[in-house]
Amino acid sequence: MPGGAERVLRRRIGTVKNTKKITRAMELIAATRVARAQQRANAARPYAEQLTGVIENLAAAGADVDHPLLRQVENPQKVAFVVCAADRGLAGPYNSAVIRSAEREIQAHRSDGGEYRIISIGRKPKDYFTFRGYEIDTHFSGFTDNPTYEDARRVARRVRELFDSGEVDQVELVYTEFVSLGTQRPVVRRFLPLESTETVAAAGGGDATALAGYSFEPSPEGVLEDLLPQYVEARLFAALLDAAASEHANRQRAMKAATENAEELITKLAREMNRARQASITTEIMEIVGGAAALEEDDEVAA
Amino acid sequence: MAFAIEFVSPERILYSGEGTMVTARTRGGGDIAFLPGHEPFIGSLQTSEVKVTEVGGDLLRFAVRGGFVSVTGDKVTVLSDLAVPAGDIDAAAARADLEVADIALGVDDLDPFAIADKKWAELRLTLSGATVD
């Protein structure tokens, strides 16, 4: 039925247009959130730099301590994986990319006979690992798109509990690094034990004018002891901010693609609809012409 | 004489200005007052009050939950993951935190987190002008 086809197509175009409105809105929202996440990452930088600067000064002063956070274990068997992804989907390959790299690491570790713990940040990794029968040690969610320092502190507290008590010997952090607006990549980073102070200092990033002759109170070692936990939190916070910026950038790209697809689909459907309408008009004309011809024939027969 | 003073928190720079004196309490030590030209110094802070005397004589008070103070001749940087200007303290929130900490201490009176939380809550209450029960 020609008229029917046209009506069906018109309704589908309406649906796609609505979808496009939504994806377009999500794209714009994500775009502003990327900008804000980047601002927050920049605002967090002075603290991390100053902290690293203090470590550089401490290293220059020759401070090294036997801090629990520096405890190295030969051939660690018990490893915790902190998997940082998103609460929500609709962000292209963002979640699956992080989760895949985490799973690969966990599998590799398990096939070496090691024990694993999973600390999931975001609902997506939790759902995935639970569904696959992995055991989740601790789960955090509700802040992946806009993490605060307090969130980082909560996660860091749990991670340190595991590490300090010796329940795990090593902690790996799996998150998405925000390289630039166009590039984000999932990375697996050693989180604990920390490298020695010299390595942190050598890695740089601090703004220390490492002038010797600082005096320390209570002592270089005492300051270092207080500082390492802060350093752990600051690093985790930086990772969470990176992940948040990456999430928004991925969502923006995914929604942009969805909007473009919707536009394409609308053009295609509009074309089909026009063809259907043309077909029905042609049919009608044919009917009229046919009818008229039949009438003429009737007239001729009657004449 | 004055020096630059900066309060840096993990999320942003809280305060940046010029002052003539900073007083802080380091761990293992008492209150230390820094004046311009102080020798290079790095100290670990207690949960305590940090006072800044601005150029012109205004006194600013901050509650800090630990952190570090780094001093060079012409600059004082206070690094703290939690620092609040005295005027911005939410006394009701501090009181609520104190109650939670007391409950936790009732379960385990050596819980280091609860001890730290309690000290922080008490400091904020003191600085906000409210009385500590």
pLDDT tens by residue, A16-66: 999 999 999 999 999 999 999 999 988 888 898 888 888 888 877 776 677
Q: What stretches in chain B show pLDDT beneath 50?
A: none
Q: Do A214 and B40 touch (CB under 8 A)?
A: yes
- C-alpha–C-alpha distance, residues A233 and A48, integer Å: 10
Task: Confirm if B83 and B64 have CB atoms less than 8 A apart.
Answer: yes
Helical (H) or strand (E) element with A294: helix A220-302
Q: Do A222 and B40 touch (CB under 8 A)?
A: no
Q: Which chain A residues contact residue B8 at CB under 8 A? A: 46-47, 50
**Given the DSSP bridges, would you call strands B75-79 and B67-72 parallel, antiparallel or unpaired?**
antiparallel
- C-alpha–C-alpha distance, residues B68 and B117, integer Å: 18
Residue-level pLDDT at A202 = 62
Please name the amino acid found at residue A68. Answer: P
Q: Is the pTM of the predicted complex or chain greater than 0.90?
A: no
Residue-level pLDDT at A59 = 77
Which among A36, A39, A47 is the top mutation candidate for probing chain B, defined by the most B β-carbons within 10 Å of its own β-carbon?
Answer: A47
Task: Confirm if B60 and B91 have CB atoms less than 8 A apart.
Answer: no
- C-alpha–C-alpha distance, residues B82 and A206, integer Å: 21
Residue-level pLDDT at A198 = 64
Helix, strand, or coil here: A156? Answer: helix
Q: Which chain A residues contact residue B39 at CB under 8 A? A: 213, 215
- Chains A & B: contacts with CB separation below 8 Å: 91
What is the least distance, in Å, from the CA of A150 to any CA of chain B?
Answer: 9
What is the least distance, in Å, from the CA of A12 to any CA of chain B?
Answer: 47
Is it the case that residue A250 has pLDDT exceeding 80?
yes
Residue-level pLDDT at A1 = 47
Please name the amino acid found at residue B85. Answer: P
Task: List, in sequence order, every residue forming a beta bridge with B22; answer none if it has no partner.
Answer: B34, B52
Contacts of B121 (CB under 8 A, 6+ apart): B94, B95, B97, B98, B101
- C-alpha–C-alpha distance, residues A196 and A177, integer Å: 23
Q: Do A214 and B42 touch (CB under 8 A)?
A: yes
Q: Does B28 lie at the interface with A, CB-CB under 8 angstroms?
A: yes
Q: What is the pLDDT of residues A86-127, one digit of tens each?
A: 998 889 899 999 999 999 999 999 998 889 999 999 999 999
The residue of chain A nearest to residue B28, with distances taken between CA atoms, is A218
Q: What is the dihedral of CA B73, B75, B76, B79, to 10 degrees?
A: -130
Contacts of A170 (CB under 8 A, 6+ apart): A73, A76, A78, A79, A80, A190, A192, A193
Is it the case that residue A205 has pLDDT exceeding 80?
no
Q: What is the pLDDT of residues B7-18, one digit of tens each?
A: 998 888 888 999
Active site residue A84: yes
Q: Which chain A residues contact residue B66 at CB under 8 A? A: 226
Q: Does A44 lie at the interface with B, CB-CB under 8 angstroms?
A: yes
Of the residues A55, A84, A99, A156, only one is catalytic, namely A84
Q: Do B41 and A213 touch (CB under 8 A)?
A: no
Cα first-last separation, chain A: 37
Q: Which chain A residues contact residue B70 at CB under 8 A? A: 50, 53-54, 57
Predicted confidence band of residue A222 (pLDDT cuts 50, 70, 90): confident
Q: Across the interface, which of B28, B39, B77 has its CB nearest the CB of A50?
A: B77
Residue-level pLDDT at A58 = 81
Q: Do B43 and A223 touch (CB under 8 A)?
A: yes
Residue with tokens 């630039």: A180
Residue-level pLDDT at A199 = 67
**Given the DSSP bridges, would you call strands B48-54 and B13-25 parallel, antiparallel or unpaired?**
antiparallel
CATH number for the domain running over A35-252: 3.40.1380.10
Residue-level pLDDT at A282 = 93
- Mean pLDDT computed over every residue of chain A: 88
What are the extents of the domains in chain A? 35-252
Tokens representing A90 are 């609709």
